[in-house]
Amino acid sequence: MNRIAGIIVVDTERCKGCGLCVEACPKKIVRLTEKSVNKKGYPYAIQTESELCNGCTSCGIVCPDGCITVYRKKWKEEQV
């Protein structure tokens, strides 16, 4: 059986911290930074627990500034 895994890449300098990606993530693994900000002073989106990402692209679709790119990879799970 194959499993789709995903990872997001955020252009942190363009992110304005609107939080739409946080709300859109069905796995709740996208959040805004708490202690770091970009050059414009905004907290930016980061991915937590990358092993849970299924590459659904919801975060990238709702981003109004196109700051999020989602990469997906198909993994073949070994049968036990």
pLDDT for 34 beyond 80: yes
Contact 16, 40 (CB under 8 A): yes
- Residue 32 one-letter amino acid: L
Residue with tokens 């981003």: 63
DSSP string for residues in 53-72: -----HHHHH-TT--EEEEE
pLDDT for 80 beyond 60: no
pLDDT for 33 beyond 50: yes
More reliable by pLDDT, 49 or 75: 49
Give me the domains of the chain, ranges plus CATH numbers. Answer: 2-74 (3.30.70.20)
